[in-house]
């Protein structure tokens, strides 16, 4: 069979017979079929202020540090005698009430870095703060257990470190129709259709051709498999809502993609934080609520885990501009159906004991969260992906 016929009929998964051996080595398909579990990672980019998100409304130190920025007792959605949600997080509190939310406090890493870029690098690559990795933790998952780039999708037009592997990367798309159209231009199509498999080699040129073919196959796969499925839910009309809607359409059309990454921007609130953050939390929680509802209606929520993180939290003490500066440890939200530890996983931040910058000290290493998810949710060898073994938690 010619490559072009093969491409036409390609279902990818069954294509192994026609792929040259070096490509096969790249693919490194796991012997057992990957499960149905999906993982959605959301980054609140810029550094969300966790203390004004989940509020210790009876803590004097909280009010002392934030004379004009602290949220008053009457304005929180109380869940206990000490803790309340930001008033714009009603949809998220609703998930909490239903037992679909776990909040892990004080997540971070030793020697925290306060640069957006570097700390995002660290969270996405799962490295130490003194280590520079060029692959992401989800990228390494795809590398070792995935079959093709579509195993991991970023809801954007370019790929972040989190989905970069060594031999296979994830793929980024905001709109599968555009992604597909870009691989279907007459010239590009012609180029691919001329390819027979025999000339692929392990050199850089072979790698380029393999990536071209991967791009084309994954774009086609994602587009064709999801094209017919349109969400019936009404999502908030903003770009983040759109990203989640597209993610729901992917998941609900049962494509084999396992991991998704969405970045929501705007959280770098150095000035006039109160109104900015209130709006952002509203946008976030409303979209998440519809997303979860959409998955529930399609019976896919039971197989989906949603994790929300920020590259860092913010300083406990407010600044002069009615905002907060870059901090360290922060809370992480886990949203899912069958959570082991519903509600609060651990203690609230200790405002009595801050680091020398006046930031929260982490008590949970973010890589423990990853290890738990890899091991218990995606059912793969977490130490192989994280290059080290981390304590497992018991939220799932």
Binding residues (CB under 8 A) for other proteins: these are 3, 45-47, 116-118, 120-121, 130, 132, 134, 149, 156-161, 164, 169-172, 174, 178, 181-183, 185, 187-188, 190-191, 194-196, 199, 203-205, 207-209, 211-212, 214-215, 218-219, 238-240, 242, 263-266, 268, 276, 279-280, 283, 311
Pairing of strands 101-108, 330-335: antiparallel
Looking at beta carbons only, is 78 or 225 nearer to other proteins?
Answer: 225
Looking at beta carbons only, is 37 or 174 nearer to other proteins?
Answer: 174
The minimum distance between CB 193 and other proteins, in angstroms, equals 9
The minimum distance between CB 280 and other proteins, in angstroms, equals 6
Contact, 267 vs 44, CB < 8 A?
yes
* CA-based torsion, 122, 126, 130, 131: positive or negative: negative
The minimum distance between CB 164 and other proteins, in angstroms, equals 7
Looking at beta carbons only, is 98 or 211 nearer to other proteins?
Answer: 211
Looking at beta carbons only, is 357 or 363 nearer to other proteins?
Answer: 357
SS3 326: strand
Residue 192: enclosing H or E segment and its boundaries?
helix 186-193
Looking at beta carbons only, is 196 or 391 nearer to other proteins?
Answer: 196
Looking at beta carbons only, is 67 or 186 nearer to other proteins?
Answer: 186
Looking at beta carbons only, is 102 or 113 nearer to other proteins?
Answer: 113
Looking at beta carbons only, is 83 or 172 nearer to other proteins?
Answer: 172
The minimum distance between CB 40 and other proteins, in angstroms, equals 18
Contact, 276 vs 53, CB < 8 A?
no
The minimum distance between CB 150 and other proteins, in angstroms, equals 9
Buried b (16+ CB within 10 A) or exposed e, 333-354: bbbbbebeebebbbebbebeeb
The minimum distance between CB 262 and other proteins, in angstroms, equals 12
Looking at beta carbons only, is 9 or 238 nearer to other proteins?
Answer: 238
Buried b (16+ CB within 10 A) or exposed e, 84-99: bbbbbbebbbbbbeee
The minimum distance between CB 364 and other proteins, in angstroms, equals 24
The minimum distance between CB 250 and other proteins, in angstroms, equals 16
Show Cβ contacts of residue 51 under 8 Å, excluding neighbours closer than 6 positions: 62, 66, 313, 314, 316, 349, 360
Backbone angles phi, psi at 343, to 5 degrees: 80, -130
- Measured CA to CA in angstroms, residue 189 lies from 4, 6, 104, 130, 367 at distances of 10, 14, 48, 44, 42
Angle between helices 204-226 and 186-193 (to 10 degrees): 120
Residue 391: enclosing H or E segment and its boundaries?
none
Retrieve residue 56's tokens.
């210790």
The minimum distance between CB 3 and other proteins, in angstroms, equals 8
Backbone angles phi, psi at 22, to 5 degrees: -70, -35
């Amino acid at each position: 069979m010619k490559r072009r016929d093969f491409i036409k009929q390609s279902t990818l998964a069954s294509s192994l017979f026609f792929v040259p051996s070096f490509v096969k080595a790249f693919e490194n398909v796991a012997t057992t079929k990957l499960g149905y579990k999906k993982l959605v990672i959301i980054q609140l980019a810029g550094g969300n202020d966790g203390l004004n998100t989940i509020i210790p409304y009876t803590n004097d130190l909280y009010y002392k540090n934030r004379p004009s920025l602290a949220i008053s007792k009457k304005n929180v959605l109380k869940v206990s005698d000490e803790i309340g949600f930001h008033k714009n997080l009603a949809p998220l509190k609703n998930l909490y009430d239903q037992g679909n939310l776990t909040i892990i406090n004080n997540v971070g890493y030793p020697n925290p870095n306060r640069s957006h870029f570097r700390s995002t690098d660290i969270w996405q690559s799962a490295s130490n703060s003194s280590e520079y990795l060029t692959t992401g933790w989800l990228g390494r998952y795809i590398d070792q257990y995935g079959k093709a780039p579509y195993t991991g999708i970023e809801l954007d037009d370019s790929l972040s470190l989190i989905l970069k592997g060594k031999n296979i990367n994830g793929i980024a798309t905001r709109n599968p129709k555009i992604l597909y159209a870009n691989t279907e231009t007459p010239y590009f199509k012609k180029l691919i259709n001329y390819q027979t498999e025999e000339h692929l080699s392990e050199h850089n040129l072979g790698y380029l051709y393999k990536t071209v073919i991967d791009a084309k196959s994954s774009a086609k796969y994602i587009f064709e498999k999801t094209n017919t499925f349109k969400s019936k839910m009404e999502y908030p009309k903003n770009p983040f809502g759109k990203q989640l809607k597209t993610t729901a359409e992917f998941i609900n059309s049962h494509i084999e993609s396992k991991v998704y990454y969405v970045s929501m921007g705007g959280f770098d609130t150095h000035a006039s934080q109160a109104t900015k953050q209130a709006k952002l939390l509203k946008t976030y929680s409303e979209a998440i609520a519809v997303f979860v509802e959409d998955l529930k209606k399609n019976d896919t929520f039971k197989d989906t885990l949603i994790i929300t993180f920020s590259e860092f939290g913010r300083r406990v003490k407010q600044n002069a501009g009615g905002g907060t500066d870059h901090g360290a440890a922060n809370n992480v939200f886990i949203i899912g159906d069958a959570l082991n530890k519903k509600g609060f996983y651990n203690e609230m931040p200790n405002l009595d004991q801050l680091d020398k910058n006046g930031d929260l000290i982490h008590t949970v290493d973010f890589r423990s969260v990853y290890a738990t998810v890899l091991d218990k949710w995606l059912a793969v060898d977490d130490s192989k992906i994280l290059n080290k073994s981390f304590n497992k938690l018991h939220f799932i």
